[in-house]
Amino acid sequence: MASSRFPGKPLAMIHNMPMIGHVYKRSKMSASLCEVYVATCDKEIFDYIGSIGGKAVMTADTHERATDRTAECLLNVEADTGCPVDIVVMIQGDEPMLMPEMIELAVAPLLRNDSIDVVNLMAPLKNRREHEDPNEIKVVVDQHDFALYFSREPIPSRKKGGKDVPMFKQVCIIPFRKKFLLKFNQLTPTPLEVVESVDMLRILEHGYRVKMVRSDYKTYSVDTPFDLKVVVKRMTKDPLIDLYTPVKTT
C-alpha cells in the first residue's frame, strides 16, 4: 500500500474489483498451483482477500524485496499446513492481466530439468516508449534463453540498427525451487542489483543462472496511475473476468 510511485496501488479499482483481487483470482485458475496465498504487510489487503474467500499471510513490514516477503510467507505456510513445498511461484500483485497459462509456461522448465532453480518470463517490448521506460525491466539472453543481464535502461542498444535484435522485458511471474529461494535470500546483495534495482542480478553476479521463457500474452503491469488507466481500458472485454469464482459469503 505504500508504493512510492502509486500509493494504495494494490486496492486500486479495475472494473469494480481491486487490482489484487484480479491477480488472485486469475492465479487461482492455474492448473499448476496447489494453492495461492497473498503475502502482505497491510491489514487492508489481508482483510480484502479474506472477504473474497482467499488466503492471505501477514508478513513483516520491513522487507525491501519481494523475495524476502515470499520466503517468509512460504515458511509460515509450511509450518501451518505441515506440507513441504518444492516450488514456489512469486507473482507480483501489479499484474492484473496475467493469464493462467503464463504460470504454466514459467513452471514448465523446473518440472523438466532438475538443474534449473529459477525461471522468469519475458515478453517482447512493444515499442520505443516501453524500451525507454525505466519502470520496465529489460533483459537480454544468450542463445539458450538464459539471462545475460537485466536493466531499467534501454538494452540492447538501438543505435546500430537494432531493429532485428529481439528486445524483451521481464514479466514478474517467477518460480523458484524452495531451496534456491532461501539460498538467494542469504546471498550478499550485489552492486549491479542495487544500482539497477533488479533482484535477479544478485543471482547472475553470484554466478548462478536464470532461465528465461518467452510469453506472447499481451499483459500490462501497473506501476503508475497512468498505467492503471491503460489497463482499465484494455480489460473492458477481458475474457476471464466472467469466469472468476464468485465471492464466498457467510
User: What are the structural domain ranges in the chain?
Assistant: 9-243
The answer to whether the CB of 146 falls within 8 A of the CB of 210 is yes
The answer to whether the CB of 177 falls within 8 A of the CB of 114 is no
Task: Report the predicted TM-score, pTM, of the whole model to 2 decimal places.
Answer: 0.90
Domain 9-243, what fold? Answer: Spore Coat Polysaccharide Biosynthesis Protein SpsA; Chain A (3.90.550)
Residues 143 and 131: their CA atoms lie apart, in Å, by: 21
pLDDT given at position 250? 47
b (16+ CB within 10 A) / e for 30-47 = bebbeebbbbbbbeebbe
- Over residues 114-166, the pLDDT tens digits come to 999 999 999 999 888 889 999 899 999 999 999 999 999 999 988 776 667 78
Residues 190 and 207: their CA atoms lie apart, in Å, by: 12
Which residues does 77 contact at the CB level (< 8 Å), separation at least 6? 35, 37, 57, 85
The answer to whether the CB of 13 falls within 8 A of the CB of 32 is no
pLDDT given at position 145? 97
Of 62-66, 180-184, 230-234, minimum mean pLDDT range: 62-66
Reported as half-sphere exposure (CB side, CA atoms, 13 A), residue 203 has a value of 24
Is the per-residue pLDDT at 247 higher than 80? no
Q: What are phi and psi of 78, to 5 degrees?
A: -60, -40
- Over residues 62-93, the pLDDT tens digits come to 988 889 999 999 999 999 999 999 999 999 99
Q: Strand 138-141 to strand 147-151: parallel, antiparallel, or no bridges (unpaired)? A: antiparallel
pLDDT given at position 172? 86
**Per-residue confidence at 176, pLDDT binned at 50, 70, 90?**
very high
- Over residues 30-54, the pLDDT tens digits come to 999 999 999 999 999 999 999 999 9
Residues 112 and 242: their CA atoms lie apart, in Å, by: 33
Look at 248 and 224; give whichever has higher pLDDT.
224
